[in-house]
Amino acid sequence: MDKKSQIVVTGAAGFIGSCLAEYLNYRGFHNLILVDDFSRADKRENWEHKKFTEKVEREQFFEWLFRQKPKIDFFFHLGARTDTTEFNYAIHQYLNVEYSKKVWQYCSIYNIPLVYASSAATYGSGELGYDDNHDVVSILRPLNPYGISKNEFDKWVLHEIHRPHFWAGLKFFNVYGPNENHKGRMASVIFHAFNQIKKSGIVKLFKSHRPDYKDGQQLRDFIYVKDVIKVCYWMMQHQPQSGIYNLGTGKARSFEDLVKASFKGLDMKTKIEYIDIPEDIRDTYQYFTQAKMDKLRRVGYMDEFYSLEKGIDDYVRNYLNKEKGY
């Protein structure tokens, strides 16, 4: 992809989108069209220092495209409603399904290569495993409206006849890293652990409400945002076989391991207190996630992922403790 290429990034004021915009700048791409709801003051630091040519409000974007008719060379669709505690499905349906369909249709008409954000939330409790084989998509059972909406779009995509010449849906697992400050309750456990340590010297973790998991031993596939944006960039540059791809590390780790690494990043002794999982999310809480990463490796992505310890150490020491964004 030429450095003069014009690239769209939706969700550009959010967590992963803003990190991707910065990484594209770092790689020499400055002709960016940033798309989001830019009204939130707590997201301003995520985007205002980036190099870009256009900043377009999410609700005006398709009208802007029709009016301006820009030549777009690549499209990253990372904008979504990601709140797993938002149970009004209509909100997810509009932002995560209908809006995404419009993005897909635009890219199909103008043959623009597309990478979009799917989610590991599509796998639900994991009873069918975590294999990014297309055959399983139609029978997955997500546990919340967010996961349902992401899976509905994946299902729709796989049945579409009209497609861009290259497309990839990336099923993000548990992403953590700088620029997530605005996410509140939905920010990563590392972000919340850091703030709890700073405030009280103790981290509160959820108890296990299942007999087969001890407190703190719930397992997730945690992936550093720097790895996520590297894969997004690689997809743009190499455009391998189109399809849906898992994006995790392939190694599930415990919340206890995560908290120990957070304390270590602050050179402090580990202190953990266990609390009940809130009732509104207890029945939909995932106890295990682990991405099967064979497909991404088969198409040629060979870079190593950050280990949990190295990723958290970098995040805590170089961003959280310095109150610095990416």
State pLDDT tens for residues 145-185.
Answer: 999 999 999 999 999 999 999 999 999 999 999 999 999 88
Percent of the chain residues topping a pLDDT of 70? 99
Task: Using the predicted structure, report yes or no on whether residue 82 has a pLDDT greater than 80.
Answer: no
Task: Using the predicted structure, report yes or no on whether residue 10 has a pLDDT greater than 80.
Answer: yes
Instruction: Tell me the residue type at 77.
Output: H
pLDDT digit string, tens, across residues 176-217? 999 999 998 889 999 999 999 999 999 999 999 999 999 999
Q: Is 69 a catalytic residue?
A: no
Q: How far apart are CA 260 and CA 265, in angstroms?
A: 9
Average pLDDT of 220-245?
98
Contact predicate 14/46, CB 8 Å:
yes
Q: How far apart are CA 156 and CA 71, in angstroms?
A: 26
The CATH number of 7-176+222-250+287-305 is 3.40.50.720
Give the list of residues 6+ apart from residue 298 with CB closer than 8 angstroms, or none.
none
Q: How far apart are CA 254 and CA 287, in angstroms?
A: 10
Average pLDDT of 30-52?
96
Task: Using the predicted structure, report yes or no on whether residue 259 has a pLDDT greater than 70.
Answer: yes
Q: Are strands 253-254 and 32-36 parallel, antiparallel or unpaired?
A: unpaired
Q: How far apart are CA 7 and CA 75, in angstroms?
A: 6
Residue with tokens 């088969």: 298
Active-site residue, from 183, 204, 207, 226: 183
Q: Which is nearest to 1 in space by CA: 236, 167, 229, 164? A: 236
Q: Which is nearest to 54 in space by CA: 76, 30, 37? A: 30
* Dihedral pair phi/psi, residue 301, rounded to 5°: -80, 115
Question: Domain map of the chain by residue range?
Answer: 7-176+222-250+287-305
pLDDT (0 to 100) of residue 85: 66
And the tokens for 207?
Answer: 């108890």
Residue with tokens 């995790």: 248
pLDDT (0 to 100) of residue 180: 97
Average pLDDT of 258-263?
97
Active-site residue, from 123, 146, 245, 319: 146
Dihedral sign for Cα atoms in the order 133, 135, 137, 139? negative
Q: Are strands 174-176 and 74-77 parallel, antiparallel or unpaired?
A: unpaired
pLDDT digit string, tens, across residues 97-145? 999 999 999 999 999 999 999 999 999 989 999 999 999 999 999 989 9
Q: Is 183 a catalytic residue?
A: yes
Distances (CA, A) of 229 to 18, 66, 164, 232: 10, 29, 21, 5
| Cβ burial 101-123 (10 Å sphere, 16+ → b, else e) | eebbebbbeeebbbbbbbbbbbb
Per-residue confidence band for 285, with pLDDT thresholds at 50, 70 and 90: confident
Q: How far apart are CA 302 and CA 245, in angstroms?
A: 14
pTM (2 d.p.): 0.95
pLDDT (0 to 100) of residue 196: 96
And the tokens for 311?
Answer: 């990723």
Helix (H, G, I), strand (E, B) or coil at 291: coil
